[in-house]
Amino acid sequence: MAEKLSQASVKRERTAFQRRPSMFEKAAFSHVLKERLKEGNHEVIHTRQPNIDEDGNEIALDSKDVVMIRPTFGKVKYANTYKMEADRKFQVHLVKRKAYQILKDNLENIQYDPDLSARLCVSLADAIMAAVKDIGFDRYKYIVRVFIVEKKNQGTKIVSRFIWDDQRDNWVGVSFERHSFISTAIIYALYFE
């Protein structure tokens, strides 16, 4: 009989540990709050804060529990806007003027050098990309390609193929010519929903 009582008490203890803690139990309050806010963007911090009297002095005799809720800055989820058009559309004439000015400023006093041309193309593409982004067209991604070709009585043909939306995507081609070379910059603006 005593063995059956001890088994029953063990069973009661197991069920007591499996019981969900109540939010109104002081010891379980922070645990319950953490569980409820686990899916949200908040962090629950349980600290002990000492009592302070009116003069700002700390009273060491008694302390109270404080639960702080601090928002965490994880990945923000945005709702769909269902916008199919940009607020500020890509304007060819602004980009053409800006790209030509960059080519002119950087290449005006340069002679053609094959070793310098590769590095110059990369730096010009970066400068044009930054200038186009500064104009501030909404919802566009850009591709900038710059070519510097030596003049030697030859023809040059630059070809690009894309699958794109004729209504929203656009491109700009700008050329700058000197006596020893021709520079061409092509800027593609691809609408990004």
Say what the pLDDT of residue 138 is: 84
| pLDDT for the residue numbered 63 | 45
| Domains present along the chain, CATH in parentheses | 21-77 (no CATH), 92-191 (3.30.1140.40)
| Measured distance CA(49)–CA(125) in Å, rounded | 57
From first CA to last CA, the distance across the chain in angstroms is 75
Per-residue pLDDT of the chain (193 residues; tens, 9 = 90+): 555 555 555 555 555 555 666 656 666 767 766 666 665 555 555 555 555 555 655 555 444 555 555 555 556 666 777 777 888 889 999 999 999 999 999 999 989 998 899 999 999 999 999 999 999 888 899 999 999 999 988 888 888 888 888 888 999 999 999 999 999 999 999 988 7
Considering only CA atoms, give the Rg of the chain.
34
pLDDT score at 155 = 86
Sheet holding 170-177, edge to edge: 140-150, 181-191, 170-177
pTM over 0.75: no
CA 94 – CA 105 distance, rounded (Å): 17
